[in-house]
Amino acid sequence: MKTLLINIHQLLQIREPEVSFVAGGEMRDLPLIQNAWLLIDKDQIADFGPMETAPLNATKNIIDCTDRVVMPTYCDSHTHIVYAGERVDEFVQRLEGKSYQEIAALGGGILNSAARLDKTSEKQLYEQAAQRLELCAYQGTGALEIKSGYGLNLEAELKMLRVAKRLSEKYPVAIKTTFLGAHALPELYKNQKDEYVQQICKEMIPEVAAQKLADYIDVFCEEGYFDLEDTEKILSAGARFGLKGKIHVNQFNAIGGVALGVAMEVLSVDHLEELIEEDLIALENSQTMPVALPGCSLFLDIPFTPARAIIDRGLPLALATDFNPGSAPSGNMNLVVSLACMRMKMTPAEALNAATINGAYAMGLEATHGSITKGKKASLIITDPLKDFSHLPYDFGQNHIDQVILNGRLL
State the DSSP code for 372. B
Q: Residue 149 and residue 99: Cα distance in Å, rounded?
A: 21
Residue at shortest CB range from Fe ion: 322
Q: Which of 130, 154, 150 is nearest to 87 (CA)?
A: 150
* Binding piece for ligand NIG, criterion CB under 6 A, among 69-77, 203-211, 278-286, 323-331: 323-331
The CB-side HSE value for 230 (13 A sphere, CA atoms) comes to 26
Decide if residue 324 touches ligand NIG (CB under 6 A): yes
Task: Pick one of 94, 233, 246, 248: the residue that binds ligand NIG (CB under 6 A).
Answer: 248
State yes or no: residue 220 binds ligand NIG (CB under 6 A): yes
Q: Does 305 bind ligand NIG (CB under 6 A)?
A: no
The least distance separating ligand NIG from the CB of residue 167, rounded to whole angstroms, comes to 19
Q: How far is the CB of 359 from ligand NIG (least distance, A)?
A: 16
CA dist 341 and 392 (Å) reads 10
Q: Where would I find the beta strands (DSSP E) of 100-193?
A: 141-147, 174-182
Contacted entry of ligand NIG, Fe ion, none for residue 220, CB cut-off 5 to 8 Å set by kind: ligand NIG
10 Å Cβ neighbour count for 269? 29
**Is residue 280 a contact partner of residue 309, using CB atoms and an 8 Å limit?**
yes
Which of 106-114, 189-197, 211-219, 304-312 is the region at the interface with ligand NIG (rule: CB under 6 A)? Answer: 106-114
Q: Does 251 bind ligand NIG (CB under 6 A)?
A: yes
Residue number with the smallest Cβ distance to ligand NIG: 326
Smallest separation (angstroms) from ligand NIG to the CB of 83 = 7
Q: Is 326 in the site for ligand NIG (CB under 6 A)?
A: yes
Q: Does 296 bind ligand NIG (CB under 6 A)?
A: yes
Chain centre distance of CA 264: 21
Under the criterion CB under 6 A, does residue 323 sit at the interface with ligand NIG? no
Residues between 284 and 323 with contacts to Fe ion, criterion CB under 5 A:
322
> Based on CB atoms, which residue is closest to ligand NIG, 48 or 100?
100
**Which is closer to Fe ion, CB of 274 or CB of 322?**
322
Size of the site for ligand NIG (CB under 6 A): 12
| Distance from C-alpha of 176 to C-alpha of 17, rounded to nearest angstrom | 21
**Distances 283 to 198, 272, 279 between C-alpha atoms, Å:** 29, 12, 6
Find the angle CA(356)-CA(139)-CA(163) to the nearest 5 degrees: 90
Interaction of residue 261 with ligand NIG, rule CB under 6 A: no
The answer to the question of residue 109 lying near ligand NIG (CB under 6 A) is yes
Smallest gap from residue 269 Cβ to ligand NIG (A): 12
Task: Return the number of other C-beta atoms located less than 10 Å from residue 47's C-beta.
Answer: 16
Asked if residue 145 binds Fe ion (CB under 5 A), the reply is no
Can you tell me which of 10, 44, 79, 113 binds ligand NIG, judged by CB under 6 A? 113
CA angle 19, 240, 361 (to 5 degrees): 15
Q: Residues 323, 76: contact at Cβ < 8 Å? A: yes
Q: Does the protein bind ligand NIG through residue 322 (CB under 6 A)?
A: yes
Single out the residue of 325, 329, 331, 359 in contact with ligand NIG (rule: CB under 6 A): 325
Give the interface segment with ligand NIG, choosing from 21-29, 60-68, 168-176, 320-328 (CB under 6 A): 320-328
Residues that bind Fe ion (CB under 5 A): 322
Residues that bind ligand NIG (CB under 6 A): 109-110, 113, 220, 248, 251, 296, 322, 324-327
